[in-house]
Amino acid sequence: MSTITTEARPALSMLSEDEAMFRDAVREFAEAEITPLISRMDETQQMDEGLIRQCFEMGLMGIEIPEELGGAGLSFFTSVLVVEELSRVDPAVGVLVDVQNTLVINAINRWATDEQKARWFPRLAADTVGAYALSEAGSGSDAFALACRATQDGSDWVLNGQKLWITNGNEAGLYLIFATVDPDAGYKGITCFVVERDFEGFSVGKKEDKLGIRASSTTELILDNVRVPAENILGEIGRGYKTAIETLNEGRIGIGAQMVGLAQGAFDHALRYVQEREQFGRPIAQFQGVQFQLADMATEIAASRALVYEAARLKDAGQDFVVPAAMAKLHASRTAQKVSSMAIDLFGGYGFTREYPVEKLYRDSKIGSIYEGTTNMQLHTIAKSLLR
């Protein structure tokens, strides 16, 4: 029988030689260094500290940071490739790197002054994890219904409130925190502040006990009269809504890449298994019903990958990518759930146990339809564009 190999990825023709080499290096790193840690990190709900250090040493935590400031000086598209390859092995590690690059570094790249970049980028490239803190208890899809308040006191600002669902909350040393300076101004009162972990009054609160991506910390942040100097404002006062919207549009491409990687990982596991598992005297891969499932999975993954890559290329080219990003995240999150579910079906009873890796990938897949814009919000963005 002619089988679909794990290298059957039509969209790979879109990669340059340098991009392909970088992707391959990340793939080798992920398979060698992350694979042995997956089960333990998932069970303990803790990202391995040594693995985080290795991500910094590999240059994966500062992909778009200029070389002169300690980073790799590469493209947004390269960040997408990295997130995909890490997520193919463990989506929890993928999102650690994704938030660092597509949210935190992207926001600073676009909105920070040269002085701010010189202060923060060398740290983010070398050893400091970043977190992006927009969500609150009453602020989810309605992202700008913020209760977190910033009050000016002399040249400083004092922040009070709580943030929820903050990825990298436990590991981060630098937090992009959105607060309102004028509740009566609505979204035009929102401002982005860069808060250091050791600022007085700042603390990391409850860590969520989650269904999937359990090694990725998702925490509450508590701000109790946190004094932030004016030089730590990112962008303009009252223009934080623009920082948030534009950064999240880019971040959705990263989540699309995470979901593509997850789906590819589940497919790879299933493809190997069906060629090893025998029933009725032959490998189950020889049955046409199984072959059709493999073909369906591979096609969905290729379609999602093409959407994600196109959105990333548009972003790097400075072209409008908002709707392509929404489509990419929408399709990829659905693909991840579908493919990981089908992988469990192909594994049969074994797939329902924690002895095999597809069970974890299935749990991990659900978050793709929730964070950085729910499925309904992506549908709204696409439909609004169609009807404009």
Q: What distances in angstroms separate CA 156 from CA 9, 84, 202, one per listed residue?
A: 52, 40, 15
CA angle 168, 170, 172 (to 5 degrees): 60
CA gap 172, 341 in Å, rounded: 33
Total residues found in the chain within this entry:
388
CA gap 342, 75 in Å, rounded: 34
Strand partners, 226: 159
Chain position carrying tokens 């579910």: 341
Among 64, 171, 359, 372, the active-site one is: 372
Tokens of 176: 């992009």
Q: What distances in angstroms separate CA 58 from CA 21, 28, 29, one per listed residue?
A: 14, 12, 9
Phi first, then psi: give them for residue 30, nearest 5 degrees.
Answer: -65, -45
Closest CA to 172 of 116, 96, 248: 96
DSSP string covering 215-283:
TS-EEEEEEEEEEEEGGGEES-TT-HHHHHHHHHHHHHHHHHHHHHHHHHHHHHHHHHHHHH-EETTEE
Contact 258, 91 (CB under 8 A): yes
Q: Considering only CA atoms, give the Rg of the chain.
A: 21
Closest CA to 371 of 233, 208, 234, 239: 208
Contacts of 383 by beta carbon, 8 Å cutoff, 6+ apart: none
Is 372 annotated in the active site?
yes
CA gap 104, 368 in Å, rounded: 19
CA gap 123, 105 in Å, rounded: 11
Q: Give the DSSP H/E element, type plus range, for residue 299.
A: helix 288-316
CA gap 248, 238 in Å, rounded: 18
Residue positions annotated with a catalytic role: 372
